[in-house]
Structure 1
Amino acid sequence: MNAPFRIKKTLNNNAVVATDASSMELILIGKGIGFGKVKGDIIKGDVIDKLYILTSEKEQEQYVSLVRSLDESFIELLNDVITHIEKRMQTTLNEHIHVALTDHMAFAVKRLEQGMDIRNPFLLETQTLYPKEFTVAEEVIEEINQVLGIHLPDGEIGFVALHIHSAVTNRSLSDINQHSRLINRLAELIEESLEIKLDRKSINYLRLVRHLRHTIERVEAGEKVDKQEKLAKVLKEEYPLCYNLAWKLIKVMQNTLNKPIPEAESVYLTMHLQRLT
């Protein structure tokens, strides 16, 4: 990315599409960067606050469309928010977050203005699964609330946390949401089978959810787990209800993920289930 940059399209007073010396197309953000500028004008690096490559043509089109349809101050706020996320997470984010989070927050603010409140059924699970992302999401929602003088519902913290996790791990939101739904389904199955009501804020529940998350990640990554035949035999005899339920949960995971689950997982799951009872 070599300065100076040549303007290809002015989006608003603070955003332009430009090309660098190697003809790479970029989106440049800066106060007044597009004011009075036309196609072909040169921009030097010292007036640029932020620079986005957005290598996907589709994403660049989506971002251009968003910038043109939303208030400049809102775009500026979301750019500051994304910079804050990157600093707090101490990693480079997938650039898709510029499109995905900006679009999501614009829609969230619009819903609030219209008196609509979309519940987030996975809020506690999200906080348990992704604690750092959740903490940063709390900061993001607080900043947006303060700047815009609004009060977004707490459920939005969970949605933003998932966007952050998606941008950090380069995983799609649909995959992440599938895992959240799976864990929620397993929790409901545990309650039904053991005839208990899980305390979703208890340490044992948090441990179970984290274990399920790591199990799913291991399965997705194809990691092997050492067999625990002796321990499995003891647990099967001592805690037959929990042991059988563990296998029931494993079958649900296998069917959902469409991948085999190592037998040893039944041992660890049984111990977590026993703690819950």
Structure 2
Amino acid sequence: MTLPMYTIKKVLNNSVVICQHDTDPEVILLGKGIGFGKKPGDLVDPASVPEKVYQLTDKEEQSQYQELVKHVDEDFIAFMQEIVGFIETSTGKKVDEHIHIGLTDHLFFTMKRIEQGMEVTNPFLLETESLYPNEFALAERIVDMFHERLNVLLPDAETGFIALHIHSATTFKNVLEVNRHNQIIGQIVQTIESRLNVKMDRTSLDYKRLLRHLRYAVERVATGEMVEAPQKIEKVLRDEYPLCYSTAWELMGIMERELKRPVPRGEATYLTMHLQRLTSR
């Protein structure tokens, strides 16, 4: 995207400036070196900056980012802009501008916790890897970049958290919503293991298929999308696999309660089929 010339109103640091343009509202421009040697009133041409330049246009996002810049090291701000560029290049997708705030804030304070010897845990790490394999692989590369560039060894738990931020930013979904959906799926998995008296192999293909179905089922319920299934198939499954069928309805109850939305009856058929496949193994 071609950006116009902007007049600098305030330089927050060498990589962050607040600007104004005649036809545009006030924006924050992010780019390595974009504010170097600049002062209020100077013009800045984003095209002349060798690194990619990002705009923060949302007023609330601008306010949050200005507050964040006060507490975060300038070099880390520049490094995170590089990380965001790496995510866009690797995925081929434009990202939600909130990632500049959410991921920067998360990783900066994660490093602080590591420095203080605090443990970082992630109970949904395996589920996140199965649900978002592409984002997870990209997150692993970002963890390597932290080690190579900053000599910071992020714990395995962080790979999952970074993957969620990537998924949130590339799908323009709120990261809190994405995390909440993960928690619901985790609750469902625990219920399955308890009701069917099974311990699922987190590395198995059947488990990954189940997680993918649960992910899309939760998203469908959250958006109100309907799903249909032949009633004859439902009757056969109910008669042949009563425990799996009743468990499927219990899982639907969890989704309905947590998402506060009705779950289409057709979900019972597909859930029962997944559960039957798991128990038959």
Q: TM-score range by the shorter chain?
A: over 0.9
Distance 2:261 2:253 in 1: 10
What corresponds to 2:225 in structure 1?
223
Identify the range of structure 1 (13-22 vs 155-164) with the bigger mean alpha-carbon deviation.
13-22
Cα separation, partners in 2 of 1:272 and 1:21, compared to 1, 3 Å: same
Question: 1:31: how far off?
Answer: 4.7
**Structure 1 alignment gaps of length 5 or more:** none
Relative to 1, partners in 2 of residues 1:46 and 1:258: Cα closer, same or farther, differing over 3 Å?
A: closer
Aligned pair 1:55/2:57, yes or no? yes
C-alpha displacement at 1:56, in angstroms?
2.0
Q: Which amino acid aligns with 1:60?
A: Q
1:23 CA displacement: 4.2
State which drifts further: 198-207 or 31-40.
31-40
Identity of aligned residues (%): 47
Counterpart in the other structure of 1:9: 10
Shift of 1:22: 1.9
Q: Do the aligned partners of residues 31 and 113 (structure 1) sit closer, same or farther apart at CA in structure 2, a change above 3 Å counting?
A: same
Structure 1 window deviating more from structure 2 (227-236 vs 93-102): it is 227-236
Separation of aligned partners in 2, 1:251 and 1:15? 48
Question: Is the Cα–Cα contact under 8 Å of residues 7 and 41 in structure 2 kept in the other structure?
Answer: yes
Residues 5 and 20 in structure 1, CA contact (< 8 A), matched pair in contact too: yes
Aligned to 2:43: 42
1:131: Cα distance to partner?
Answer: 1.3
Residues 1:270 and 1:25: Cα distance change in structure 2 (over 3 Å): same
- Say which SS state the counterpart of residue 11 (structure 2) adopts: strand
1:69 aligns with 2:56: no
Map 1:1-277; keep pairs closer than 5 Å. 3-48=4-49, 49-277=51-279
Shift of 1:32: 4.1
Q: 1:260 to 1:56 in 2, by over 3 A?
A: same
Q: Is the 1:8–1:18 Cα contact (8 Å) retained in structure 2?
A: yes
Question: TM-score, normalised to structure 2's length?
Answer: 0.92
Q: Distance in 2 between matches of 1:2 and 1:225?
A: 44
Q: Counterpart of 2:136 in structure 1: which amino acid?
A: F
Residue identity in the other structure for 2:25: M
Change in CA separation of 1:33 and 1:90 when aligned onto 2, cut-off 3 Å:
closer
Deviation digits for residues 126-175 of structure 1 (CA, Å, limit 9, x no counterpart) = 11111111111111111112111121001101111111111112211221
Number of aligned positions between the proteins? 277
Deviation at 1:44, TM superposition (A): 2.9
The code of the aligned residue for 1:142 comes to D
Q: How far apart, CA to CA, are the structure 2 residues paired with 1:11 and 1:121?
A: 38
Contact 1:3 1:21 in 2 (8 A): no
In 2, Cα distance between equivalents of 1:239 and 1:156: 40
2:138 partner amino acid:
V
CA contact (8 A) 1:129 1:210 kept: yes
List structure 1 runs of 4+ shifted beyond 6 angstroms.
none
State the one-letter code of the partner of 1:88. S
Q: TM-score, normalised by structure 1?
A: 0.94
